[in-house]
Chains A and B, each alone.
Chain A
């Protein structure tokens, strides 16, 4: 298994995103995703300890190199939820991808909790035709400030729900998003890209 993305020097001390491709089987097997220190940010840890869940969204895209344009060949996405349970003093970790639901159970520290979901994970995404490709991984770490379960569940229901959102959410959401983005709160966003590989 040959890594096509090596950790950059600055990553060693901070967040690490690795997308490793088995070059011999790149056409039949997806890459292995490894991440570390996504929850190392002091604010994230503080919010976790305060009882706010954290959502980590992985979005992996497979791009096909073209002459002028680059085409999005396929994509996949999965979420990880981390929540601290003060009564048991455990960090609970859940991963969800499409119809797969994986409960890692509780961990005593943030570090061990992150090791649960940050370990090598084989993504179900690979080229199914010939060409030149590369993977593009984005990871978003977002505290779920709406600790209220109903708000969470309303959010998980997604845009197919006939109702749009809670009352005033459009106004609150718009202004809140504007302010949080301008002021630099909101979410942390990381990305990594592999080198181009060929499928004959």
Chain B
């Protein structure tokens, strides 16, 4: 209906062209840089410039820019450049194609959902005041002092042009080896006709202890990337870093780890230091898919725990941060991500896949002690390994009020020498098998961390391989605890009901690869029997994304565990 109306309106407009010359606005509040841009475009080189009704018929190609004032401008053909409509409406037929940008000032655009515009579409409804001098236009600056307002700055940011002389951001979650890592430094982003570039350079300050450079309280993260292609293309970048990274980050989110550390003095991750640099190549542009390959040379080393401030339990000892294999590594990795979830934080439906392959080669100068593999006294020398990690999820909507979600995680050693401890895995704690205590000493073989007995200090993840399956059913309780029962549409604070009940079940384990022994070490081509897997079930209530759960192990006798998650379990 709107399209029909506008079409009829446009058909009548040629007779009323002159009326647009004096827009009915009292003041010129159009941003000044927009006025300048309009004047530059109009006064610049144009393949087609007109001050009346213009129609570019289907099949016609205009090689260059088009500028029209008063209009209307009707496009059914192909414009290889950009289009400017000044105090004019634009009608785009389905066959219309614009290779550049479309800028409309003092008008509206119809048909933009069916036509093809490769560049950005910018529409300023407010008419522009100007005068004409010998075919050129000169903006009427009746508010010369107007500064660029935040809308324009927001628009610039959206266009990808911004810089900050000193950006202060958090470089990672609060943790027991760094405290709060803070990154300070400049950042720059520029969008160019051929693509974009970005540079971030930051010094990292760690608040964990004494701010002494020889104690590792300072680091750095420098990253630059050049992207060729405006909407899709290839990105090439380089980075140099001296950062503290988690050994495993897939189980719980940063915010959960940070809050557990800061509030309860419980750190659910282990950490090591990465110092080095490298390059990367990424393919971007597809909405749901990304592919990134990288290569770097890094020196990995252990980090001792500090004693950062916590709000509660300050008389409790932090868990040791395990020692890792120290040495110089050359690491090549490729990561594929496929994500069609409706909302990553609160998915109703969709697929998620994160597949990572890594090949590492290097020299271990100091091997870390482990409890459960033959190199328990440490391993040094040249190492060459391959590792894969695969996280696959499916979110299913059964109906408006019900959901069934599934996840499979497989990861670990693929080929070569044993994995360094930085690349070992575990299925332990609230992020994986919440029915079992995190890093708790288990009788017999601990298939959660692959530790034997009391294990190495800090009970590091020692598994060569892991397998984990999770399933959960979510149902709305239709309880509106913050709003009016009679209110409609519903008035709540997440993408679904206020409160959901959740039933879940998990099964998983880790194992070592080698000469088969007992129920911990298996041949490279053997999957452990399902009867050896840990399993648990649980229920919980999800209050708009914040879940309170209890879980009970079913494979072995364990007490019931209660836990809180600030995001969905997966």
**A-side interface residues toward B, CB under 8 Å?**
1, 8, 10-11, 14-15, 17, 29-30, 32, 59, 61, 63, 68-72, 75, 81, 83, 85, 88, 90, 92, 94, 96, 99-106, 116, 120, 122-124, 138, 149-150, 152-154, 156-157, 161-171, 173-175, 177-178, 180-182, 184, 186-193
Contact = CB atoms under 8 A, between A and B. Distances in A.
Which 5 pairs from chain A and chain B are nearest by CB?
A: A163-B169, A184-B482, A124-B113, A105-B126, A190-B489
A40 to B, nearest CB: 12
Given A1-B1, A173-B255, A180-B493, 8 more contacts: A61-B348, A69-B349, A70-B398, A100-B112, A161-B169, A164-B254, A170-B173, A181-B494
Contact of B489 (A11, A164, A173, A186): A11
B154 to A, nearest CB: 7
Given A88-B29, A170-B170, A103 B125 contact: yes
B170 A164 contact: yes
The A interface is mostly helix, strand or loop, or mixed, namely: mixed
B171 interface: yes
A153 B491 contact: no
Contact of B151 (A94, A169, A181, A188): A94
B238 to A, nearest CB: 13
A166 B182 CA distance: 8
B121 A101 contact: yes
Contact of B121 (A14, A100, A173, A182): A100
Interface string B155-183: 10110001010011111111000001011
Contacts of B490: 189-191
A188 B489 CA distance: 10
B487 A123 contact: no
Nearest to A28: B114
Given A105-B29, A106-B29, A138-B495, A174 B258 contact: yes
Contacts of A11: 488-489
A168 B169 CA distance: 9
Contacts of B125: 102-105, 116
B336 interface: no
A188 B157 contact: no
B200 A162 contact: yes
B348 A72 contact: yes
Contacts of A96: 158
Nearest to B222: A162
B11 interface: no
Contacts of A30: 113
A188 B482 CA distance: 11
B56 interface: no
A7 to B, nearest CB: 10
B489 A191 contact: yes
A166 B184 CA distance: 10
Given A99-B121, A174-B258, A184-B493, A69 B487 contact: no
Interface string B388-413: 00000000111110001000000000
Given A11-B489, A174-B258, A191-B489, A166 B169 contact: yes
B429 interface: no
A195 to B, nearest CB: 13
B194 interface: no
